[in-house]
Amino acid sequence: MGLPIQKAPTYTTKLPSNGQEVKFRPFLVKEQKYLLLLQDSSTAEDVVNAIRDMITAVTFNKLDVDDLPMFDIEYLFLQIRAKSIGETIELNLRCGETGCGGTGKVSVNIEDAEVRGIDSEKSKVISINDEVGIGLKYPSIVDTGRSEDIKDRQEKLLALLASGVDYVYDAEDRYESDDISSEDLREFLESLTLIQLEDVSKFFEDLPAIKLDTIFKCNACQTEQSRTISGLQSFF
């Protein structure tokens, strides 16, 4: 007779990007290895792989994690973490005063974190000229991981732009990103003028992200400071 296996509770949340309802359970002991990887990983790709595997497991393999934008992943991870380990985490924040170098500890409730920057009025279609344009999308978690590990600034920008192209259109047709080879897409992006490139890049300058406002006191200069914690890795 086998040992009794307890059934983990199930919770529900909604993705910020589209309101899709997602069911999840807390992390179990067998998923602790992913949490350790997140703390010890040196590359963005390692972080992405750990998050992807962990979220896939706790959402019962019913969520296509690879296609989710990074801010959905950030939000979902913190929701799962809150139900698994607890809502409160302690952070050690660096002082912002010039020449200080001190730090300050603060406890925050991660359930207070929210995704900011989703603008329904923000255009996702950029006109290149009278006939040609680009439809853009938020980069997925996989796209974000790939671009973060690229050291060359120009190559990193091209990788980010390429990952955000949903389709390209001209006067006669519309070309979906899945049907465009990486070589053709790169050639298209490299053919843009600097002004056109700047217009496209503006879409990626302020992408939605998980954020939380807090106040802490520096242990060195004793000044009280406000800080906005942004991005998933800032919560570790």
Task: Render pLDDT for 108-157 as a digit per residue (tens, 0 to 9).
Answer: 999 999 999 887 656 689 999 999 999 999 988 878 777 766 677 788 88
Q: What is the pLDDT of residues 201-228, one digit of tens each?
A: 888 888 899 999 999 999 999 999 999 9
pLDDT recorded at residue 112: 92
Q: Is the pLDDT of residue 14 over 90?
A: yes
Contact between residue 15 and residue 69 where contact means Cβ atoms under 8 Å apart: no
Length of the chain: 236
- Helix (H) / strand (E) element for 77: namely helix 70-84
14-26 average pLDDT score: 94
Q: What is the pLDDT of residues 164-189, one digit of tens each?
A: 999 999 999 999 999 999 999 999 99
> Which of the four pLDDT bands, split at 50, 70 and 90, describes residue 236?
low
- pTM of this structure: 0.82
Distance CA 20, CA 97 (A): 42
Quote the mean pLDDT of the chain.
Answer: 88
- Enumerate helices (H) and strands (E) in the chain, giving the number of each: 7, 11
Q: What is the pLDDT of residues 28-83, one digit of tens each?
A: 888 877 777 666 666 767 777 888 888 999 999 889 998 899 899 999 999 999 99
Pinpoint the alpha helices (H) of 41-180: 44-58, 70-84, 141-148, 153-163
pLDDT recorded at residue 1: 61
Sign of torsion over alpha carbons 217, 223, 224, 230: negative
- Give the three-class secondary structure for 21: strand
pLDDT recorded at residue 122: 63
Tokens describing residue 118: 């989703």
Distance CA 163, CA 183 (A): 13
Contact between residue 83 and residue 72 where contact means Cβ atoms under 8 Å apart: no
pLDDT recorded at residue 218: 94
pLDDT recorded at residue 123: 65
